[in-house]
Amino acid sequence: MAHDQFGELTGWDLEGFHNGGDTELWKRLGSHVITEQGDEPGDEGKVAGVRFAVWAPNAKSVQVIGDFNWWTGDQLQLVPGSGVWAGFIPGLGEGTLYKYRIETQEGHWIEKVDPMARFSEQAPANASIVYESKYIWSDDDWMEHRRNGRAHAEPMSVYEVHLGGWRQGKSYLDLAEELVSYVKWQGYTHVEFMPLAEHPFAPSWGYQVTGYFSPTSRFGKPDDLRYLIDRLHQAGIGVIMDWVPGHFPKDEWALGRFDGTALYEHADPRQGEHMDWGTYIFNYGRNEVKSFLVSNALYWIQEFHIDGLRVDAVASMLYLDYSREEGQWVPNEFGGRENLEAIDFLRYVNRHLYEREPGVVMIAEESTSFPGVTKPVHEGGLGFGFKWNMGWMNDSLRYLQLDPIYRQYEHNLLTFAMVYQYSENFVLPISHDEVVHGKGSMINKVPQDDWRKFATLRAFYSYMWSFPGKQLVFMGCEFGQRPEFNEAASLEWWVSELWGHGGLQRLFRDLNHIYRDNAPLYELDNDPSGFTWINADDAAHDTLSWVRHDTHGNHIACVTNFSPEPLVDYEIGLPEAGAWEEILNTDAPIYDGSGEFGNLGEVNAVAEPWGHFPARARVAVPPLGSIWLRRNLGS
């Protein structure tokens, strides 16, 4: 039977939870192994056991059921004035399987997993598991660097990973060796994990969460995940995780209608359900829900040393009429379509995390023109650090899919992004969303034969890595995987041994290393002084050219030719006369290019005005290729 005490949990402990200010809720609710003073006559010792605590304010009664009581139920007691049911059961410890059995006001009994569980059974089983971390971190140097970081002025090239599909059947511990080694070799600064919180349906890729505080057990225990992250940090690689505070699934054993009423979600389906996705929407105006979600964000950052959260589907949170017809949504108090409660919640989370954990990054996947997504909260913005540039992604992929003969007529698709480049702090994403659901893999988006496909991709990624903004690419794109992403299968690693695929993979490695070693390519991403067009208007040659600058007077000129015709003696303007080193040519033989069109490692600029530049040079640019030129300050 449950103990009379609550393991020192009182209504006072839960005051912050009820006013929306408890940002460490996992320390109070859920299951915790504790020792408590014995209360039997003559018992003066300590008793070890587990304290259970769950928020179910509208329940008539709550029991904890598990393998320790043959799933028959021990009664929990209501903590006075709190809506939280709690109890201490002596003799239990780590590994205990449990659920909550809740009696609704109508007298029905429902079984629920623990919303605050920190470990869970592997799907399709779903019981919560008592778990206490014993992990000792070894990433002090990384964490110190994070606290003093300047994310906007530092390189960020992100490798987006679905853990189950990177190499099928690998555990967190396996990935701590294989994934870390690969990402370090490729030179990415960060990995971004698609959601790692527990989810029952594998094809949801983790975007329909049933265990917000529970790392998925598909790949091992929570401390195994900590080890993976620790190893990434020790290798100098940051870790971003997708976070899903926008909606949750309707599985009857999870968060939905938790105590028989709409607790975490809105009761009105016009506010509380995404009809397209078949999911519930959190009630951001409820203080306890705010405490739950902000605590969850901090939990991953503090307990798992996650360096940043990429917040999924922000647009669906910002607008009350998102994917809804007229009459299917409820306007806000001013008659508008903005979800004011969700906006306040996002500002709250972002402000709290940036103040609490300096150096973390909050990234919005936001597809609309909502103003001020990356503006600080105190200036009226949402307070994110970065926003995915969905406009750049859509325009550039439209251009990529055109036959070269038609590209000259759609040149603005590649130049338009500079019109709004400095309105937000952008990440340029080629994510999993672009290679699923019939959209085709990146290489199959490009028309014509394999030579042109691979050459075009090499030019495209060079264009992307030299464009202002941080970069993100989905796993498999780096070696030109041909099938679409399938979460049930491994990437086709064997093709990286083949012509074209291997060259593309080697190009990615060099793009990352050159990018990280040259401040002009990242330091002033969000400052107009970091970018100057050479020629934005050469549609006739399907060619774009610009110069990137840093704060120390260094320059890198980037010229990309999306035409199948080589450019010989192509004249460009440059900010300085003298020797410019050719540091990248995507047509080089090492990348499986022809090696026929280059500049023999150097270009000499003469002091003759060209447009708005004081110097000019003639360069060779390969067909469907890019060159990068670096000003050699020693010359």
- Residue 466: phi and psi, rounded to 5, are -100, -5
- At 336-390, the pLDDT tens digits run 999 999 999 999 999 999 999 999 999 999 999 899 999 999 999 999 999 999 9
pLDDT number for residue 44: 58
In angstroms, the CA 581 to CA 22 distance is 55
Pairing assessment for the beta strands 279-280 and 273-274 based on DSSP bridges: antiparallel
- Residue 516: phi and psi, rounded to 5, are -65, -30
Encoded tokens for 233:
């940090």
pLDDT number for residue 635: 43
> Helix 501-517 vs helix 450-466: angle between axes, to the nearest 10 degrees?
10
Encoded tokens for 354:
């940036």
In the chain, CATH 2.60.40.1180 covers 528-631
In angstroms, the CA 359 to CA 152 distance is 11
**What pTM did the predictor assign?**
0.96
In the predicted model, what is the mean pLDDT of residues 251-267? 96
In the chain, CATH 2.60.40.10 covers 12-129
Tell me the CATH number for domain 12-129.
2.60.40.10
pLDDT number for residue 77: 95
In the chain, CATH 3.20.20.80 covers 152-363+373-388
What band does 37 get if pLDDT is binned at 50, 70 and 90?
A: low
CATH number for 152-363+373-388: choose from 3.40.30.10, 3.40.190.10, 3.50.50.60, 3.20.20.80. 3.20.20.80
pLDDT number for residue 12: 77
Domain 528-631: homologous superfamily in CATH:
Golgi alpha-mannosidase II (2.60.40.1180)
In angstroms, the CA 324 to CA 223 distance is 42
pLDDT number for residue 633: 66
Q: Tell me the DSSP string of 367-379.
A: -S--TTTTS-GGG
**Distances, alpha carbon 342 to alpha carbons 284, 291, 362, 382, 551, in Å:** 5, 13, 16, 10, 38
In angstroms, the CA 141 to CA 138 distance is 8
- Cβ atoms < 10 Å from Cβ of 279: 22
Which residues does the annotation mark as catalytic? 312, 365
Instruction: Please work out, in degrees rounded to the nearest 5, the angle formed at the alpha carbon of residue 541 by the alpha carbons of 544 and 605.
Output: 60
The H or E element that residue 634 is part of is none
In angstroms, the CA 319 to CA 370 distance is 10
Range in 45-49, 100-104, 299-303 with the lowest mean pLDDT: 45-49
